[in-house]
Amino acid sequence: MSAAQQKSPADILKTFEISDGIFAIGVKERGVTLYNQQVRAHNLVWALVEQHRSGARGLGRVAVIGAGAAGLTTTAALLACDNGTSITLFEKEWDLCPVQQGCDGRWLHPSLYAWPSWGSRAPSASLPILNWSEGRASDVARILLDGFARYCEAYGKKRLRALVGVHHLQVQAATKEIRFIGTNVVVNDQYFTQGESEGRTDRFDTIIFAAGFGWERTNQFNTNSYWRNEQLGQPGLTVDRRRYLVSGSGDGALVDVCRLTIERFRQDTILYELFGDTLEATEEHLRMYLKGRENDGLLPYFANIEDTLLRGPKAALRKRLRKDTAVTLHIAGKNLDEPNDLDNIFGPTSSVLNRILIYLLYRCGAISISRRPLDEAISSAHISTDHVLCRHGCDTESHLKLIFNDYNFVADKFAEMGTTQAQHPERYWKPGYFPTAEDRS
């Protein structure tokens, strides 16, 4: 029996609960992806609905805070599973799924960041609610929104209240009250038409926190959010070679380094282009090695396989180095003023795929690596401040403090979630559990 089958709805619910009746999706988990957040949303709804049906815990009036992939999946799944529930969905921005909407330059794949695990190259998320396949982030956002509208049409006409442009949203965790000012929207085909604005305080029985992770920390450099359109992947149209510094050691930083250094880089094709016929054999080798070593630094291992498994990919990559850019990777850790070790980039803060790409770039001499304090790294490489990209993750703590009026009431539980990492993105529901939008039409 797999670990996924052994867990009961009550077990699963505990991993999401931050105080009585308040649940948070993924906020403190590491390695968050859009797909993982959707799987967590399915798990949470499955556990809540099962508890509701068994009489162990009723759903009552439900609030979902945040209309990104996690909030939309949660709302659609709840509408479809329980036809007695009324749901209020709060979104801070002026449209649903605002983070990835219109983002044409970033590629989203459901599970490539789990590579080389089995099935990780499969293009479809194969999810029962709001399914999608790999594509530009903007296309994925459209698919999620179209799917959400279909669920609203099929199940939610009377039971869903959605508000956008929500500001001053304050949760009082002890009483499950939410104070807010926002604008109602109603579903109109696949769009959401503006209704009345209002400000009030409502009490809920179940609150689901799906408001993401907060603003990306950009230091003093005003780096655009990862999901805003930019031109890093495009060759320059001036003769000058451009110098860039990318600071960070997570996937956001490493992807930007790849975009800046590899010619015609595409996240969806790079594996096939570099590994060719040896891809499956390499995956098998990597899987065997990584078993039980998921948290290890991979630098010594990559060095061991450099002349065997990585020989072909390194030669292929060498032919594709961009000629119009010069890139420094600044290895930033928590404390920007203290030098970090090279091992940090190859540790578990990023996907195996991106770590291999960076290793190959490093061994092709395509990037400089800086361990100096950020200011020194910038000035010594003569980089203009508008070519500095800080990818230092999100300031989740400040985000939570802004939303929870009585943050102290939930602070310990959030801290515990960060330590236990218990919201595994495994599927706990049985196939066929969630109704499709078409089941109702």
Q: Whole-angstrom Cα distance, residue 40 to residue 25?
A: 7
To the nearest whole angstrom, how small is the minimum distance from the Cβ of residue 312 to ligand FAD? 26
Q: Are 96 and 148 in contact (CB under 8 A)?
A: yes
Question: Minimal CA–CA distance to 16: which of 27, 8, 24?
Answer: 24
CA count, 13 A, side-chain hemisphere, 167? 4
Q: Whole-angstrom Cα distance, residue 110 to residue 267?
A: 12
Residue 173 interacting with ligand FAD (CB under 6 A): no
Among 15, 19, 33, 43, binds ligand FAD (CB under 6 A): 33
Residue 425's CB: how many other CB atoms inside 10 A? Answer: 19
Among 148, 155, 226, 302, binds ligand FAD (CB under 6 A): 226
Among 90, 148, 275, 359, binds ligand FAD (CB under 6 A): 90
Peptide bond into 116 cis (omega under 30): yes
The residue with its CB nearest to ligand FAD is 68
Residue 26 interacting with ligand FAD (CB under 6 A): yes
Nearer to ligand FAD, 41 or 309 (CB): 41
Among 121, 142, 176, 391, binds ligand FAD (CB under 6 A): 391
Residue 166 interacting with ligand FAD (CB under 6 A): yes
Taking CB under 6 A as the binding criterion, the range among 14-22, 77-85, 91-99, 425-433 that sits at the site for ligand FAD is 91-99
Cα Rg of the chain, angstroms: 23
Amino acid at 68: G
Q: Whole-angstrom Cα distance, residue 235 to residue 253?
A: 19
Among 22, 24, 76, 99, binds ligand FAD (CB under 6 A): 99
# chain residues binding ligand FAD, by CB under 6 A: 32
To the nearest whole angstrom, how small is the minimum distance from the Cβ of residue 64 to ligand FAD? 9
Transcribe 20-82 into DSSP letters: TTEEESSTT-SS--HHHHHHHHHHHHHHHHHHHHHTSS---EEEEE--SHHHHHHHHHHHHH-
Among 13, 24, 34, 144, binds ligand FAD (CB under 6 A): 34
Among 64, 87, 345, 394, binds ligand FAD (CB under 6 A): 394
Among 12, 67, 207, 410, binds ligand FAD (CB under 6 A): 67
Residue 125 interacting with ligand FAD (CB under 6 A): no
Taking CB under 6 A as the binding criterion, the range among 59-67, 116-124, 374-382, 420-428 that sits at the site for ligand FAD is 59-67
To the nearest whole angstrom, how small is the minimum distance from the Cβ of residue 282 to ligand FAD? 22
Phi/psi at 159 (nearest 5 deg)?
Answer: -95, -10
Among 65, 162, 185, 274, binds ligand FAD (CB under 6 A): 65
User: Residue 234: CB partners within 8 Å, gap ≥ 6?
Assistant: none
- For residues 309-334, one letter each, b for 16 or more C-beta atoms within 10 angstroms of the residue's C-beta and e for the rest, the string is bbeebbeebeebebeebbbbbbbbbe
Query: Binders of ligand FAD among 246-265, rule CB under 6 A?
Result: 251-252
The 200-219 site mask, x for binding ligand FAD (CB under 6 A), equals ----------xxx---x---
Residue 169 interacting with ligand FAD (CB under 6 A): yes
* Strand ordering across the sheet containing 22-24: 17-19, 22-24, 206-209, 61-65, 86-90, 160-172, 177-188, 191-203
Binding site for ligand FAD (CB under 6 A): 26, 32-35, 37, 65-71, 90-93, 98-99, 108, 166, 169, 210-212, 216, 226, 251-252, 391, 394, 403
